[in-house]
Amino acid sequence: MDPRAGTPAQSSDLVDVDALIGAYYDRAPDLDDPAQQVVFGTSGHRGSSLDGAFNEAHIVATTAAIVEYRRSQGTDGPLYIGRDTHALSRPALESAVEVLAAAGVQVYVDARDSYTPTPAVSHAILLHNGATSTEGVRTGNGGSSQGTGLADGIVVTPSHNPPRDGGFKYNPPHGGPADSDATGWIAARANEILRTGVGQVARTPLDRALKADTTHTHDFLAAYVDDLANVLDLDAIRSAGVRIGADPLGGAAVEYWGAIGERYGLDLTVVNPHVDPQWAFMTLDWDAKIRMDCSSPYAMASLVNRMTAAGATAPYDVATGNDADADRHGIVTPDAGLMNPNHYLAVAIRYLYSGARPGWNPDAAIGKTLVSSSLIDRVAASLGRRLLEVPVGFKWFVPGLLDGSVGFGGEESAGASFLRHDGRVWTTDKDGLILALLASEIIATTGKSPSEHHAELVSEFGESWYARVDAPATLEQKATLGKLSPEQVTATSLAGEDITARLTAAPGNGASIGGLKVTTENAWFAARPSGTENVYKIYAESFRSPEHLAEVQVAAKDVVSDALG
């Protein structure tokens, strides 16, 4: 923990935006350096132009690869493209539009030439593809097209990453994150194009590309905001007079929050409407970096302090934050401050499945990643609902959200989405806006804050302590960890309790977790190799005490070390 965590950013913390954009156009990647190649993680390709990891060449090559991929899949409908507020997002979007126009792809850009949250792009794709009609979505398994005219999309965002970063992710016709088969193919082809020379990729100059017959505009904001009443009880929020403070953290939701408040007559204040590519107004995250992580108490310190200042009356009944592309949510209440994401997910699940959504399939499962809190498991059991526990990555929830067999899918990193009132799909990517608004619906219909509901869950199921830490690992050890079998784990106990399960595949779908999860009666840990650093991540939880959690974390390292040999 850096001693400056939670304090306001200083001038020395700010990125040089001109240098950042200059490097985007001027710097060519060194393809002998793996860190400067195109690599898709769980949320697309990310990097900084200053490091030779996110430059014009990367975007031209990746867009050209996406053009080839969508053709190979028979996806011949429009492509919806949006961007967030990072400094590199506009240049990258413009580069992509030049390639798409030259390739003859029907492209839809934002009608306001402004910012577009990730869920608004997913929403647009699904609307075009009929996912919200009574006939259902026209996509095959994993998003492969059936028929013609199917849409897909690109979101230019590195999510909550620091201001120096850029990001580029592809959403196929199912509207959610592309699976590893798609991203692996796109990344490999993009790197081939980089090696052969991006100068061979056809491009239409930007001014002509924007005026091309194949380039159109779409009002992402109006389409999304006007449809919100079909997924939330906004009438209840308005009637109850819930006072909402919404902080976009300088991200793509900035104009959406004002439009939502006006459209539905809510008592909603946009706490900070300022957009700054340096994010000079932010408080520093745990490592003294500027990071728009709405689940971090350090990045959210300004909003938390406003809500919980000693002796002051809270200005809002609930305050919320979003990251730069608004696919994550942070919930702040006067009595508890910033809620742990796992705690809020459990509250949201209990509320939604306890009669708030009678139009859902009565057998609709609860989706969680295997590194999310076991409190969710206990809530699901009490509700008599099937729990779908999947590996890390929101893509695993896409099929269930599409067909209504999963009502809610959530990740431990404060990302989730859920179905419309009638049980049809809303988005198949994470939606921080509806999760933030759901907190107000919970207050309006129950008279209790989400944190008060969590206190009730604690009294019913017990208190838990949850944390994630990193441990060093070589490339070889990371590779071994990603391919472990349960038989390689010889330990029989963990922090004083007998081991009840050793998992290398997710219980919900049998997919490899790319690591290991070990459970006991009152605790568990999961270990996964990092995709960007020479470390592995240890997620752990204890229902006994914070001291027991620390014991679990230490024991987890020993278990993993023994398994790695």
Weakest mean pLDDT among 39-43, 115-119, 199-203, 313-317: 39-43
pLDDT at position 65: 98
The answer to whether 289 and 162 have CB atoms below 8 angstroms apart is: yes
Kindly state the average pLDDT of the residues 194-223.
Answer: 97
pLDDT at position 530: 78
CA distances from 117 to 81, 159, 399, 434 (A): 10, 10, 22, 12
Q: Closest Cα to residue 178, out of 275, 77, 42, 339?
A: 42
Please count the helices (runs of H) and the strands (runs of E) in the chain: 17, 23
CB atoms within 10 A of CB 217: 13
CA distances from 67 to 9, 186, 189, 424 (A): 40, 9, 11, 30
- β-pairing, 512-519 vs 523-529, is antiparallel
Residues 6+ apart with CB under 8 A from 372: 342, 345, 410, 411, 412
What is the b/e burial string over 344-380, where b = at least 16 CB atoms within 10 angstroms of the residue's CB?
bbbbbbbbbbeebbeebeeebbbbbbbbbbbbbbbbb
Give per-residue pLDDT as tens, 100-120: 999 999 999 999 999 999 999
**Which residues are known catalytic residues?**
159
pLDDT at position 205: 98
Q: Closest Cα to residue 107, out of 14, 29, 187, 204?
A: 204
CB atoms within 10 A of CB 135: 8
Give per-residue pLDDT as tens, 179-190: 999 999 999 999
The answer to whether 260 and 266 have CB atoms below 8 angstroms apart is: yes
Give per-residue pLDDT as tens, 391-433: 999 999 999 999 999 999 999 989 999 999 999 999 999 999 9
Q: Closest Cα to residue 52, out of 33, 31, 34, 36?
A: 36
Q: Closest Cα to residue 141, out of 506, 430, 400?
A: 400
The answer to whether 366 and 378 have CB atoms below 8 angstroms apart is: no
CB atoms within 10 A of CB 141: 9
Of the pLDDT bands very low, low, confident and very high (cuts 50, 70, 90), residue 563 is confident
pLDDT at position 533: 67
Q: Closest Cα to residue 526, out of 536, 540, 512, 514?
A: 540
Instruction: Tell me: pLDDT of 310 over 70.
Output: no
CA distances from 162 to 138, 293, 447 (A): 37, 9, 37
CB atoms within 10 A of CB 561: 12
The side-by-side arrangement of strands in the sheet containing 365-369 is: 387-390, 365-369, 406-411, 415-418
- Distance (Å, rounded) from C-alpha 133 to C-alpha 245? 33
326 conformational bin, left if phi > 0, alpha if psi -120 to 50, beta if neither:
left
Of the pLDDT bands very low, low, confident and very high (cuts 50, 70, 90), residue 139 is very low
Instruction: Tell me: pLDDT of 365 over 60.
Output: yes
Q: Indicate the average pLDDT of the chain.
A: 94
Express as a percent the part of the chain with pLDDT over 70: 96
pLDDT at position 148: 59
Could you tell me the pTM of the whole model? 0.94
Domain with CATH 3.40.120.10 in the chain: 16-223
Kindly state the average pLDDT of the residues 142-169.
Answer: 82
Kindly state the average pLDDT of the residues 201-217.
Answer: 98
Domain with CATH 3.30.310.50 in the chain: 465-564
The answer to whether 62 and 178 have CB atoms below 8 angstroms apart is: no
Weakest mean pLDDT among 70-74, 135-139, 457-461: 135-139
Kindly state the average pLDDT of the residues 92-107.
Answer: 98
The end-to-end CA distance of the chain, in Å, is: 30
Kindly state the average pLDDT of the residues 439-463.
Answer: 97
Q: What number of CA atoms fall less than 13 Å from residue 385's CA on the CB side?
A: 28
CA distances from 205 to 68, 102, 104 (A): 20, 9, 14
Kindly state the average pLDDT of the residues 287-306.
Answer: 95
pLDDT at position 156: 98
The SS3 call for residue 518 is strand
| CATH class of segment(s) 16-223 | alpha beta
Tokens representing 477 are 């050890």
Give per-residue pLDDT as tens, 21-66: 999 999 999 999 999 999 997 778 999 999 999 999 999 999 999 9
Of the pLDDT bands very low, low, confident and very high (cuts 50, 70, 90), residue 311 is low
Q: Which CATH architecture has domain 465-564?
A: 2-Layer Sandwich (3.30)
The DSSP element (H or E) to which 342 belongs, if any, is helix 341-351
pLDDT at position 137: 47
- Greater confidence (86 vs 530) lies with 86
The answer to whether 61 and 29 have CB atoms below 8 angstroms apart is: no
Kindly state the average pLDDT of the residues 206-224.
Answer: 98
Kindly state the average pLDDT of the residues 256-285.
Answer: 97
